[in-house]
Amino acid sequence: MSSDVRFTDFKSDKQPTWCPGCGDFGTMNGMMKALAETGNDPDNTFVVAGIGCSGKIGTYMHSYALHGVHGRALPVGIGVKLANPNLEVMVAGGDGDGYSIGAGHFVHAVRRNVDMSYVVMDNRIYGLTKGQASPTSRQDFETSTTPEGPQMPPVNPLALALASGATFIAQSFSSDSQRHAQIIQEAIEHNGFGFVNTYSPCVTFNDVDTYDYFRDSIVDLEEEGHDRTDREAAKEKILEGDREYMGVIYRDENSVPWEEREGLDRNMADIPDGAPDDAMDLVREFY
Amino acid sequence: MPEDLNWAIGGEAGDGIDSTGKIFAQALSRAGRHVFTSKDFASRIRGGYTAYKVRTSVDRVESVVDRLDILIALTERTIDENMDELHKGSVIIYDGERSTMQDVEVPEGMVGLSVPLQRLAEDAGGAIMANVVALGAACEVAQFPIENLDESLDKRFGDKGEAIVENNKEAARLGQQYVAEEYDHEFDYDLETTDADYVLLNGDEAIGMGALAAGCRFYSGYPITPATDVMEYLTGRIDQYGGKVVQAEDELSAINMALGAARAGARAMTATSGPGIDLMTETFGLVATTETPLVICDVMRSGPSTGMPTKQEQGDLNMALYGGHGEVPRFVVAPTSVSECFWKTVEAFNYAEKYQTPVFLVSDLALAVTEQTFPPEAFDMDEVEIERGKVVDEAEIDGWLNDKDQFQPHFPSADGISPRAFPGTTDGAHMTTGLEHDELGRRTEEEEVRIEQVDKRTQKVRTAREEEDWDYREFGDPGADTLVISWGSNEGAMREALGFLEDRGHDVRFISVPYIFPRPDLSDEIAAADDVIVVECNATGQFADVIEHDVLKRVQRVNKYDGVRFKADELASEIENTLTGVDSGSQEVTAE
Ligand SMILES: Cc1ncc(C[n+]2csc(CCOP(=O)(O)OP(=O)(O)O)c2C)c(N)n1
Ligand code: SF4
Ligand SMILES: [Mg+2]
């Protein structure tokens, strides 16, 4: 790892095609800054991206990366990390990717608590497919496929994480670039699954959850004097529901990642040229 | 034809049928006899009937047959279930003192041995040992020296303490003595022992062992019959080599975790059965376009949908060949025997890494649940070769960078194979995506690049066709006018069927094909034969379709889809009927 890594080293030579003003620009910049700030470089970093406008992040960043199928980014990231725990693994995707088609993986990735970070670029809409309701869309949010709104309460991702036993729960806002990068950095530094729900407004298809809305309503937990290690306090904040918090809501300082519990510390890529020396013992077991 | 004994124990699920059967099978194997086991799960009637069947001979046995010589019946229904296979002279051991067994009527001509299994077990220390009493009784009937049971009882109960082991040995002896003293019937059997040393394992275990031999370090899966044994075998054992088995939340996750591990450079694998393969399908294309080496194992069971989960079928061939939208380059390898499950797994990992493709390892329930004996040399670990393909390290990476110093994970080489840099390799950072991409892994829809990338992926298959041996396995009479072709587990039954057919005056050449794609070109072999019959366990003849397409000629088909594997004698009759034009009224489907 070289100490002179700058965040622009994590930029690929592809120019983003996001709509001008899209929240994803800020989200990505913060991720790159946080990676550089935590001493990582592109050669030891693996980024896994979902499918969606958000998922394009995998193609705009420079590192080892895989842009997979819709909703399955977390399992890929877990596989990478378990196979080589020396890598820095970061997974990013949209609210549909993470809380709808991939919701099952979210719950279990939180439970497994592998040491990696997961950034959900939450715009409360399906951007790539041009504006349908997402699992975080408001109940009365009218879209082409939900003319009266979804008529279901939105998922509370922070509560879902809490209920699944999360060791790190945070929320950020892409437009507050400094705080956003700080929060992502903390997620990377966390010893376990660092989950950040990042408000990344869609300027094209969501005229409700806009920059103005978030700017007006967001409350910074730093300013509230919230104790992030207090799970009860975190629970209260998360379940309040009618306030948009920013910051690290919960962090378990005693978190032990799954791979550490399981004693995984080797790079699984290293194998001998033939069967293991004692392999005939495997056969003899069947006597 | 082997001088064989066919033995079975049957009862309700939960009666310890499997473990009792396994003790007997192991005892035979340790005594230098060949063993071929099979299991009956659900029922022809209904409910929880289950049986463990053992065919044993001093010669190799490759199949089950339609004959049962000694049956331990723990329930009355066990006798009904096996009526077709029982014959005059069959011996049925049962506990006539049990209230549920008091009315058992042993059919005409068969020998019924009522042995107080439960009472004798209590005498030995506990009713729980009733099955072992029955094993002792069976030893007496088969004239199989009871000392041979001791080692298996040690193996099975050793961790429960000396006393338990001794009680079990005593239980077996009580059963043996009871038959010796109470019945002065002359039994026809005399189970010889030999000095040979065999190992006894099933196809799933062989796949697991092959994976370990091949350096597999990451396995992710979701439990499903009949693939779970692969996962259970690897659990714990893979850890000794620094690897891990991960039980994923579903098969979507399982295959994507394995993909992630493979991108990180690990030899990775997932195994499942029909319903799980369905869920994984979307990711096949991702594995293929990102050129990630991955072994995907499908241990087929009867479908469609939940089908008959504990029954045999070879119905997923088309799935393995064509599953996934778009055109997905892949290899499909199908082991034809338990030992081949081992070797084909080793090969699968090499193909996956050399050609950076998904490799489908297609096994089936018959292989998965069959325990078969082999000399240990059948798994000679010195023969295992590991070929990792074009992996480039830091020293070599410069040769694969473009003029902007970017690594090219999808570089269109002449052979279609690109360099691979494991994450962590300095200057190797690169992305890849399931979107069509250029040589750098960046999304593109440019026509020329699209064509270049599709062609390079196809070229890999072409290269593999030329570089590797895609041979078939051949048995029987090479000059015969009749050619039988099969794939997967039918090999064993067909090998034995050759003997029956020869006795009935039919010379047959038998080709067993382990490579489904790429596969051997059988044009000459088919042209040289008068009759060509393709044998498989499915209704429509999926492999026969493929062969017809290859050679542009109709073949005859023998199909079985009742959920039960072919038995050697039954298969011989099916082949004979096909040759003589007799409609057997069975499940044969003939192409028009
Ligand atoms: C299996 C599958 N179903 C549907 C799609 C189409 N699709 C692509 S992205 C997307 C939703 C994206 O929403 P979100 O995850 O919130 O990402 P955003 O575009 O808002 O960043 C859908 C439905 C797909 N690619 N794959
Ligand atoms: S559609 Fe919305 S989410 Fe997608 S790029 Fe445009 S602004 Fe961003
Ligand atoms: Mg979205």
Q: Is B266's CB within 8 Å of A45's CB? A: no
d(CA B207, CA B231): 10
Q: Where are the alpha helices (DSSP H) in B62-184?
A: 76-81, 117-124, 130-142, 147-157, 162-182
Strand, coil or helix: A168: strand
Of B200, B290, B434, the CB nearest to A286: B200
Within the 76-105 window of chain B, which residues sit less than 8 Å (CB to CB) from chain A? none
Question: B86-94 and B111-114: which strand pairing?
Answer: parallel
For B242, the closest of A107, A266, A275 (CB atoms) is A266
* Phi, psi values for residue B79, rounded to 5°: -70, -45
Q: How many CB atoms lie within 10 A of CB B534?
A: 26
Q: Is any Cβ of chain B less than 8 angstroms from the Cβ of A77?
A: yes
Nearest CA in chain A to B237: A282
C-alpha B175/C-alpha B115 separation (Å) is 7
Beta bridge partners of A49: A67, A92
Give dist(CA B120, CA B325) in Å, integer. Answer: 62
* pTM of the full structure: 0.96
DSSP B444-462: ---HHHHHHHHHHHHHHHH
From residue B530, alpha-carbon distances to B254, B548, B558, B578 in Å are 47, 15, 16, 13
Give the whole-angstrom CA distance, residue B541 versus residue B560: 9
First-to-last C-alpha distance (Å) of chain A? 50
Q: Which amino acid is at B540?
A: T
Element containing residue B277 per DSSP (H, E): helix B274-289
pLDDT in tens, A51-100: 999 999 989 999 999 999 999 999 999 999 999 999 999 999 999 999 99
What distance in Å separates the CA atoms of residue B103 and residue B80, rounded to the nearest whole number?
13
Say yes or no: B266 contacts chain A, CB-CB below 8 A.
yes
Tokens of A260: 């550490």
Q: How far is B221 from B228, CA to CA, in rounded Å?
A: 8
Distance A137 CA to ligand 1 centre (A): 14
Alpha carbons within 13 A on the beta-carbon side of A259: 26
Q: Whose CA is nearest to atom 11 of ligand 1?
A: A126
For residue A118, being part of any structural domain is answered with yes
Which DSSP helix (H) or strand (E) runs through B71? strand B68-73
**Measured between CA atoms, how close is B277 to chain A, in angstroms?**
16
Q: Is residue A2 part of a domain?
A: no
Q: Cα-flanking dihedrals φ and ψ of residue B59, to 5°?
A: -85, 165
Residue A246 lies in a domain: yes
- Contacts with A12 from chain B: Cβ below 8 Å: 431, 442
In a domain, A119, yes or no: yes
* b/e per residue A21-52 (b: at least 16 CB within 10 A): ebbbbbbbbbbbbbbbbbebbbbbbbbbbbbb
Q: Does domain B473-580 have CATH number 3.40.50.920?
A: yes
CA distance B350 to B330: 13
Pocket test for ligand 1, best of A97, A134, A198, A209 (most atoms within 8 A of CB): A97
Angle between helices B130-142 and B17-30 (to 10 degrees): 40
CA gap B254, B260 in Å, rounded: 10
Distance A218 CA to ligand 2 centre (A): 21
Strand order in the sheet with A193-199: A218-220, A244-251, A168-173, A193-199, A116-122, A88-94, A45-49, A64-67, B431-433
Residue type, A227: D
Q: Any CB–CB contact under 8 A between A15 and chain B?
A: no
**Which contacts of B405-408 are long-range, i.e. CB under 8 A and separated by 24 or more positions?**
B406/A13, B406/B430, B406/B440, B407/B440, B408/B439, B408/B440
Distance CA A112, CA A104 (A): 12
A103 touches B at CB < 8 Å: no
Distance CA B229, CA B204 (A): 6
Does B218 contact A272 at a Cβ distance shorter than 8 Å? no
In angstroms, the CA A167 to CA A182 distance is: 18
Beta carbons of B430 and B401 less than 8 angstroms apart = no
Atom of ligand 2 nearest to the CA of A24: 8
Q: What are phi and psi of B478, to 5 degrees?
A: -65, -20
Of all ligands present, the nearest one to the C-alpha of B325 is 1
- CA-nearest residue, atom 1 of ligand 1: A70
Tell me if A16 sits within 8 A of A25, measured CB to CB. yes
The reply to whether A78 touches chain B by the CB within 8 Å rule is yes
| Shortest CA gap B271–chain A (Å) | 15
Q: What is the number of domains present in chain A?
A: 1
Nearest CB neighbour to A274, from listed B220, B254, B385:
B385
Q: Do A107 and B404 touch (CB under 8 A)?
A: no
Find, among A107, A82, A45, the residue nearest to B258 by Cα. A82
Domain with A164, as residue range(s), is 7-284
In angstroms, rounded to a whole number, what is the distance separating the alpha carbons of residues B313 and B467? 32
Q: Is B313 strand, coil or helix? A: coil
The reported pLDDT for the residue numbered B46 is: 56
pLDDT in tens, A201-255: 999 999 999 999 999 999 999 999 999 999 999 999 999 877 899 999 999 999 9
Beta carbon of A60 within 6 Å of any ligand 2 atom: no
Q: What's the CATH code of the domain at A195? A: 3.40.50.970
> Inter-chain contact A80–B263, Cβ cutoff 8 Å?
yes
Please give the residue of chain B at the shortest CA–CA distance from A60: B442
State the pLDDT at residue B185.
79
**Residue labelled with tokens 């040289």:** B528
| Antiparallel, parallel or unpaired: β B244-247 and B216-221 | parallel
A18 C-alpha vs ligand 1 centroid, how far in Å?
Answer: 15
CATH number (3.40.50.11270, 3.40.50.970, 3.50.30.10, 3.40.50.300) of B201-383 reads 3.40.50.970
CA atoms in the 13 A half-sphere facing the CB of B544: 25
What DSSP state is assigned to residue A61? B
Q: How far is CA B389 from the centre of its chain?
A: 28
Considering only CA atoms, which residue is closest to atom 6 of ligand 2?
A19
Res B2: pLDDT: 52
CA A202 to chain CA mean position, Å: 18
Determine the residue type at B349. F
What CATH fold (topology level) applies to the domain B4-197? Pyruvate-ferredoxin Oxidoreductase; domain 3 (3.40.920)
Question: Which residue has the least CA distance to atom 23 on ligand 1?
Answer: A129
Task: Give the closest of A74, A83, A283 to B379, CB-based.
Answer: A283
* 380-399 in chain B: CB under 8 A from chain A: 381-382, 384-386
Contact predicate B550/B544, CB 8 Å: no
Mean pLDDT of all residues belonging to chain A: 96
Q: Is residue A1 part of a domain?
A: no
pLDDT digit string (tens) for chain B, length 592 residues = 458 999 999 999 888 999 999 999 999 999 999 999 999 876 555 568 999 999 999 999 999 999 999 999 999 999 999 999 999 999 999 999 999 998 899 998 999 999 999 999 999 999 999 999 999 999 999 999 999 999 999 999 999 999 999 999 999 999 999 999 999 878 888 899 999 999 999 999 999 999 999 999 999 999 999 999 999 999 999 999 999 999 999 999 999 999 999 999 999 999 999 999 999 999 999 999 999 999 999 999 999 999 999 999 999 999 999 999 999 999 999 999 999 999 999 999 999 999 999 999 999 999 999 999 999 999 999 999 999 999 999 999 999 999 999 999 999 999 999 999 999 999 999 999 999 999 999 999 999 999 999 999 999 999 999 999 999 999 999 999 999 999 999 999 999 999 999 999 999 999 999 999 999 999 999 999 999 999 999 999 999 999 999 999 999 999 999 999 999 999 999 999 999 987 654 554 443 3
- pLDDT-above-70 percentage for chain A: 99
Contacts of A104 in chain B (CB under 8 A): 249-250, 252-253
Could you list the beta-strand ranges (E) of B19-67.
34-40, 49-57
Asked if residue A127 has its Cβ within 6 Å of ligand 2, the reply is yes
SS3 B433: strand
* B260 lies within 8 A of chain A by CB: yes
Decide if A67 touches B, using CB distance below 8 A. yes
Residues 204-243 of A with CB under 8 A from B: none
Instruction: Say whether A44 sits in a helix, a strand or coil.
Output: helix
- C-alpha distances (whole Å) from B425 to each of A1, A4, B37 are 11, 18, 49
Residues of chain B with CATH 3.40.920.10: 4-197
From the CB of A24, is ligand 2 less than 6 Å away? Answer: yes
Task: Determine whether the interchain pair A108/B431 forms a contact, defined as Cβ–Cβ distance below 8 Å.
Answer: no
What's the number of CA atoms in the CB half-sphere (13 Å) around residue B168?
23
CA distance A267 to chain B (A): 8
Say if the Cβ atoms of B246 and A48 lie within 8 Å: no
**Amino acid identity at B519:** R
A-chain residues near B443 (CB < 8 A): 14, 59, 67
* Interface touch B431/A79, C-beta < 8 Å: no
- Ligand 1 contact via A57 beta carbon (within 6 Å): no
